[in-house]
Amino acid sequence: MLELKGLPYEATTLPPGLQPVVRLLGFPGVTVPALAIDGRKVLGSRAIARELDRLEPEPRLFPAGPAARAKVEEAERWGDEVLQSVPRRAFRWGLAHDNELRAWLARAAGIPAAGLVGRLSTPQALVFARMSRTSEARVRADAAALPGMLDRVDGWLADGTLSLDEPNAATFQVLSSVAAILNLVDLRPAVEGRPCAEPADTMFPGLPGPVPSFLSPELRPAGR
Ligand SMILES: N[C@@H](CCC(=O)N[C@@H](CS)C(=O)NCC(=O)O)C(=O)O
């Protein structure tokens, strides 16, 4: 969103699990992304999108007309509150149950002695899994619901609510989660071949991955 606005920025990536330090840095919560801009500390991509439109109105992240804005805000809220939870819950469930996956994450984050760190980070993985209320039943239900959710995304691309030509706040919010889903080998088949696959890849190339398989076959969504 900063690049779309042409605003120069400096990005810092936190090692996995260290998001709570943003509170120590003066932000009002414990998640990333967090943006310090113009003397303000803005937390969460939805708040960040609104702050960026205030500071640099063009190109707009939210359309000017109230009806069009309401549509974009609804897609953005759904992307944040509903769609994002699917890859996040699956991944956190995997981290709580799979030593190899924890080692993979430590390696991907460039942490030395990744195997050992993976084994030592079990308690932290269990806390994160509990925070996102993840469970095997939930991961199974998410897998069943995912195709319907992706139909919704494809519909929004078809009716222009989401667009790569003029990306709005919902485009960033929703396609980043589609990219995260594509990046999980277990969930990828649900997206492959759909209209939303290529735009998500184009907008968010180069995520650290793909994340190797960690779900047993009965917990994976159906492919197309
Ligand atoms: N869609 C939200 C997501 C925020 C979010 O959940 N971030 C995760 C990234 S892994 C996080 O920091 N989680 C830490 C936690 O839940 O404690 C946003 O964009 O602000």
Query: Residue 59: is the preceding peptide bond cis (ω within 30°)?
Result: yes
Residues 184-200: tens digit of each pLDDT: 999 999 999 999 999 99
Question: Terminal CA-to-CA distance of the chain, rounded, Å?
Answer: 31
How many angstroms separate the alpha carbon of residue 32 from the centre of ligand 1? 5
Determine the atom of ligand 1 nearest the C-alpha atom of 16. Answer: 10
Query: 180 is written with which tokens?
Result: 């995260």
Give the pLDDT confidence score for residue 145 in this predicted structure: 98
Residue 45 Cβ < 6 Å to ligand 1:
yes
Half-sphere exposure of 62 (CA within 13 A, CB side): 22
Separation of CA 34 and ligand 1 centre (Å):
9
Residue 18 CA to ligand 1 centre (angstroms) = 11
pLDDT tens, the chain, 224 aa long: 999 999 999 999 998 888 889 999 999 999 999 999 999 999 999 999 999 999 999 999 999 999 999 999 999 999 999 999 999 999 999 999 999 999 999 999 999 999 998 999 999 899 888 888 899 999 999 999 999 999 999 999 999 999 999 999 999 999 999 999 999 999 999 999 999 999 999 999 988 889 999 999 999 998 87
84 lines ligand 1 (CB under 6 A): yes
Q: Is 31 in the pocket of ligand 1 (CB under 6 A)?
A: yes
CB-based contact 32:25 (threshold 8 Å): no
Rounded Cα distance, 123 and 106, in Å:
15
Atom of ligand 1 nearest to the CA of 80: 1
Output the pLDDT for position 208.
Answer: 87
Q: How far is CA 210 from CA 104, 131, 168, 205, in A?
A: 10, 24, 26, 11
Q: What is the pLDDT of residues 143-153, one digit of tens each?
A: 999 999 999 99
Does the beta carbon of 63 sit less than 6 angstroms from any atom of ligand 1?
A: no
- Closest by alpha carbon to 222, among 190, 177, 185? 190
Cα dihedral 176, 177, 179, 182, rounded to 10, equals 180
C-alpha–C-alpha distance, residues 215 and 92, integer Å: 11
CB burial readout 163-178, b (16+ within 10 A) else e: eeeebbbbbbbbbbbb
Whether residue 121 has its Cβ less than 6 Å from ligand 1? no
**pLDDT computed for residue 224 by the predictor:** 76
Predicted pLDDT at 131: 86
How confident is the model at residue 25, as a pLDDT?
A: 94
Coil/strand/helix, residue 60: coil
pLDDT of res. 31: 92
Using a 6 Å cutoff on CB, does residue 80 contact ligand 1? yes
Pocket flag, ligand 1, residue 30 (CB < 6 Å): yes
Specify the pLDDT at position 132.
Answer: 85
